[in-house]
Amino acid sequence: MEADYVNIGKRLPRIDGIVKATGEAKYAADLFLPGMLHGKILRSPYPHARILNINTTKATKLPGVRAVVTGKDTLGFKAGGIATKGDEPYLALEKVRFIGDGVAGVAAIDEEIAEEALDLIDVEYEKLPAVTDPLSAMNEGAPLVHDHAARNISFKTDLSYGDVDKAFKECDYVRHDRFETAPIRHGFIEPHAALASWDNSGKLTFWGSKQSPYFTYRNMAKALNVPLSRVRVIQPYIGGGFGGKNEMFNVDFCAALLSQKTGKPVKIVVSQEEVLFAYRQRHPAIIDIKIGLKGDGTMMALEANIVADGGAYLSIGAMSLYLMCSFITFPYRLPNMKAKGYRVYTNTQPSCAMRGHGVPQTRFAAEVQLDVAAKEMGLDPIDIRLKNVVKPGEITPNGLKITSCGIEDSLTEGKRILNRWTKERQKDCDGKIKRGIGVGCYGYVSGPRVAGHNTAGAVIKVHEDGGVSLMTGSTDAGQGSDTVLSQIASEVLGVHLEDIRYGMVDSDITPVDPGTYGGRVTFITGNAVRLAAEDVRNQLAEVAASSLKANPKDVVFRDRKVFVADDPKRYLPFDKLVKTAQYSGTGKTILGRGYWAPEGLEVVNFDTGKGNFSATYSFGTQIAEVEVNIETGRIKVNRMAMVHDCGQPINTMLMEGQLEGTAITAAGQALMEEIIRKDGQTINPSFLEYRMSSILDACDVEVVHTDTHDEIGPFGAKEAGEGVQVATVPAIVNAIYDAIDVPFKRIPVTPLMVLDALKEKSLKKGER
């Protein structure tokens, strides 16, 4: 359906572009308040230890220090993705559980004094045996990270449907592989930062680098035991999140507690090094998969065992594990499946959501295994996928309901690209450089239905100069949602994008919102904005109808004008209409309200993984071309193509930016990124040692649309940009497989791994 939109589906610059390009945009670390103190956090040097005593006397006496807090100064609140299973104190209570765990907070008149004070805090530890590997952690008798968790199992998912054993017997081809993914970081350039200001009326105002500020709003009230409505969370600009800035952290808590103690505003900005070793990471996973297929490539059965290293705390790992298990074969039809997942506590930094949340790990495994199976069975990688993909109207055995679905078209288009690239490749291959092309597919959620709060809200106020204020509870962490939501409002109200002023989260004013995760903002908040704008339009249409002597239903809003549909000469300028509405004898206050969450979704039980997790799903196919230098082992991604179905794109330029960002980031994750630890100690906590893609790794990215129109998405839109992360890594690994005939089962695939594999291959050849 090609609709005649003014703002939707266009290439429009982001509304915050100018303030970001001029350096005017304020991030949390840029904020200052009069009398402000600076905070620092003391962290555990041990992976596992009991705290016997903390002596803060010397630190407190240091001139310039205003307060020192430890776990004893807290109420003992423990955070966790499942509130009743919270296990993470913001400052350690009896034990520290990883190197970097927060032990004490200091506030001083400047950062240097605060830093010096950390050295003066005496902590007496009793070192405990640590466990840093998830498989050892599951052994009987392994040291327990948390006493309540036998064999260190933090969460378990046991998904089962169909008759797996019977189905395997009926298969023509069965294989089993073990895959591994490395721990990686979110990689945002802005470190965690928080500014808190407590006042004597008992109110806390908080500014922090939070991609989902309402998590902090709720947990702050609980952790400080103050009424929720006395916590005001204000969102500044956010320097990237990717899942790593959802939760409230000790930096946020310590700023607030220290402000409460001192009566002064307290700012804490952590270092990038602390971000790397002391905050969150993506779950590394060990994935055993057995797959069974019919001779024609039909997938019949799958059995998986997944061990995910959760690190020291629960975080939102229950959902991560559910996603790893439940989406392991999505978007393929699979009648028989068993997936057992264990999220395991270890004495390392906690794992949480990261772009693609859990799904990239297991989908990497399943997609690479599928290519190996296809090759051994003599089947084409695209054809085998086409044979198995879900279709609109289907319900997967674990309960995912497929509505709009462009996966088939995207694979067909992907095949055309693959064929074109294959033809081009033959021309320019030389001896030491081997080229390969690989494919990967994904299906992803547009806003997960989780237990608890799901609804997004929007409020719109119109000004008598024709300007529009839009407020939602959603946060733009860089993905462009402020712009996309403003486009939706401007489309409905027939005003220009620049007429909209987007008000960022302020929990005293903006509607409560779950947050920025799981591809939910455009889809769910977008609908709330659409409804709020329609509410305003209906109110104004009544006024216009009476002025223009027309039926409100016949009034059209377009290009800052409001006119009668079949007689456009009868019109009012939008600003005049607002004025008319407000200034008439018993004037109206025009205020629109909208709220929305998908109907009819069940809260999925993460233990069994059954239920429809999202109202709709995005789909796509990723193609990657690589060059492998067989002398150096170096791999270069030459180009990528992303053929996707995101419903109706709202802003094509921003959406491309999302896809390109995902592509190049994922190339780093496939080839370079890994947090390396020795006995729980991170040994590469810097951008220099932890390598992510730089501009030198950027390559051409073709973005191709095989879009559908989603029935319930705002203007037909769905998730874009996060889900594709799922397919990018396996597409690259499959391209390497195509190039040198080695299917790598561990990421990142490093030059050393390539050389070792090639050596082993040539040895085997020699033996024959």
Partner 1 sequence: MKKQIRLKINGLEYEIAIRPHWTLLTVLREELGLTGTKKGCDKGECGACTIIMNGEAILSCMTLAIQAQEKNILTIEGLSQGKKLDPIQDAFVKYGAIQCGFCTPGMIMTSRALLNKIPRPSTEEIKKGLSGNLCRCTGYVKIIEAVQKVSTEGVT
Under the binding rule (CB under 8 A), the answer on residue 302 touching partner 1 is no
Annotate each residue in 642-661 with x if it binds partner 1 (CB under 8 A) or - if it does not, as one string.
Answer: -----------xx-xx--xx
Helix axes 317-326, 359-377, angle to 10 degrees: 20
Of 15 and 316, the one with the shorter C-beta distance to partner 1 is 15
Strands 433-445 and 617-629: antiparallel
* Residue tagged 């397919």 (tokens): 727
Segment interacting with partner 1, rule: CB under 8 A, options 15-23, 163-171, 403-411, 605-613: 15-23
Contact 133/66 with Cβ under 8 angstroms? no
Nearer to partner 1, 112 or 711 (CB): 112
Q: Is 452 exposed, middle or buried (0-12, 13-18, 19+ CB in 10 A)?
A: exposed
Q: What is the DSSP letter of 237?
A: B
Q: Tell the smallest beta-carbon distance from residue 441 to partner 1 (Å).
A: 20
Q: Cα separation of 13 and 526, whole Å?
A: 18
CB count in 10 Å sphere of residue 56: 22
Residue 62 or 653: the one with the smaller Cβ distance to partner 1 is 653
Q: Candidates 479, 510, 580, 706: give the one binding partner 1 (CB under 8 A).
A: 479
Minimum Å gap between C-beta 475 and partner 1 is: 11
Q: Which stretch binds partner 1 (CB under 8 A): 74-82, 235-243, 300-308, 562-570?
A: 235-243
Q: How far is the CB of 482 from partner 1 (least distance, A)?
A: 11
Rank residues 105 and 191 by Cβ distance to partner 1 and give the closer one: 191
Sheet of 102-108: strands edge to edge?
Answer: 65-70, 102-108, 37-43, 266-269, 193-199, 203-208, 231-234
For the CB of residue 428, give the shortest distance to partner 1 in the complex, in Å: 18
Amino acid at 83: A
The residue from 18, 150, 395, 451 that contacts partner 1 (CB under 8 A) is 18
For partner 1, what does the binding mask look like between residues 104 and 143, x meaning CB under 8 A? ----------------------------------------
Q: How many CA atoms lie within 13 A of 700 on its CB side?
A: 5
Beta bridge partners of 618: 444
Measuring CA to CA, which residue among 323, 329, 400, 398 is closest to residue 367? 329
Pairing of strands 231-234, 203-208: parallel
Q: Is the peptide bond before 13 cis (omega within 30 degrees of 0)?
A: no
Contact 604, 322 (CB under 8 A): yes
Piece of the chain touching partner 1 by CB under 8 A; list 118-126, 332-340, 406-414, 681-689: 681-689
Distance CA 656, CA 513 (A): 26
The residue (of 13 and 76) whose beta carbon lies closer to partner 1 is: 13
168 interacts with partner 1 by CB under 8 A: no
| C-alpha span between 350 and 280 (Å, rounded) | 5
Nearest to partner 1 of 25, 512 (CB atom): 25
**Is there a contact between 28 and 209 (Cβ–Cβ < 8 Å)?**
yes
Distance CA 63, CA 591 (A): 53
8 A C-beta contact, residue 313 and residue 343: no
Give me the amino acid identity at 250: N
Answer yes or no: are the C-beta atoms of 310 and 345 closer than 8 Å: yes
Q: Tell me how far, at minimum, the Cβ of 9 lies from partner 1, in Å.
A: 15
- Which CB, 289 or 663, lies closer to partner 1? 663
Interacting stretch for partner 1, rule CB under 8 A, among 452-460, 490-498, 524-532, 693-701? 693-701
Whole-number minimum distance, CB 688 to partner 1, in Å?
5
Q: Which stretch binds partner 1 (CB under 8 A): 20-28, 62-70, 285-293, 413-421?
A: 20-28
Taking CB under 8 A as the binding criterion, the range among 6-14, 101-109, 141-149, 368-376 that sits at the site for partner 1 is 6-14
Of the residues 91, 701, 720, 747, which one makes contact with partner 1 according to CB under 8 A: 701
Asked if residue 360 lies in contact with residue 725, where contact means CB atoms within 8 angstroms, the answer is: yes
- Contacting partner 1 (CB under 8 A), which of 663, 724, 729, 731? 663
Q: Of the listed pieces 93-101, 493-501, 554-562, 680-688, which binds partner 1 according to CB under 8 A? A: 680-688
The residues, any chain, with a CB within 8 Å of residue 683's CB and separated by 6 or more, are: 676, 677, 689
Q: Which of 419, 551, 686, 762 touches partner 1 (CB under 8 A)?
A: 686
Q: Tell how strand 700-705 and strand 153-161 pair up.
A: unpaired
In the shown chain, the binding pattern of residues 23 to 42 toward partner 1, with x for contact by CB under 8 A and - for none, equals xxxxx-xx-x----------
Choosing from 96, 286, 307, 477, the residue that interacts with partner 1 (CB under 8 A) is 477
> How many C-alpha atoms does 510 have within 13 Å on its Cβ side?
29
Q: Using CA atoms, how far apart are residues 321 and 81, in angstroms rounded to an integer?
A: 12
Terminal C-alpha separation, the chain: 60
- CA dist 314 and 344 (Å) reads 9
Write down the least CB distance from residue 184 to partner 1, Å: 12
Q: Which of residues 240-269 bind partner 1 (CB under 8 A)?
A: 240, 242, 269
Asked if 324 and 359 touch (Cβ cutoff 8 Å), the reply is yes
DSSP string, 320-342: HHHHHHHTSSTTB--SEEEEEEE
Nearer to partner 1 by Cβ, of 24 and 567: the residue is 24
180 or 273: CB nearest partner 1 = 273
Helices (H), 284-401: 317-326, 359-377, 381-388
> Using the rule CB under 8 A, which residue among 159, 231, 238, 456 binds partner 1?
238
Pick 371 or 625: Cβ nearer partner 1: 625
Residues 545-604 that bind partner 1 (CB under 8 A): none
Q: Quick one: DSSP state of residue 477?
A: S
Give min distance, CB of 263 to partner 1, in A. Answer: 22
* The dihedral sign for the CA sequence 480, 486, 489, 494: negative
Smallest separation, CB 234 to partner 1 (Å): 17
* x-or-dash string of contact with partner 1, 618-637, rule CB under 8 A: --------------------
By CB under 8 A, residue 63 contacts partner 1:
no
Establish if 20 lies at the interface with partner 1 (CB under 8 A): yes
Is 278:313 a contact under the CB 8 Å cutoff? no
Binding mask 182-221 for partner 1 (x = CB under 8 A): ----xxxxxx------------------------------
Among 1, 2, 4, 22, binds partner 1 (CB under 8 A): 22
- Using CB under 8 A, pick the residue from 14, 218, 282, 387 that binds partner 1: 14
Least Å distance, CB 33 to partner 1, is 13
> In the window 405-464, what residues touch partner 1 (CB under 8 A)?
none
**Considering CB under 8 A, how many residues would be counted as binding partner 1?**
57
| Minimum CB distance to partner 1, residue 207 (Å) | 13
Residues paired with 502 in a beta bridge = 470
Residue 124 to residues 2, 50, 127, Cα–Cα distance (Å): 69, 9, 10
Length of the chain: 768
353: which 2 tokens?
A: 């959501």
189 vs 763 by CB, closer to partner 1? 189
Q: Does 662 sit near partner 1 (CB under 8 A)?
A: yes
Binding site for partner 1 (CB under 8 A): 11, 13-14, 16-18, 20-27, 29-30, 32, 186-191, 237-240, 242, 269, 271-273, 477-480, 653-654, 656-657, 660-665, 686-688, 692-696, 698, 700-701
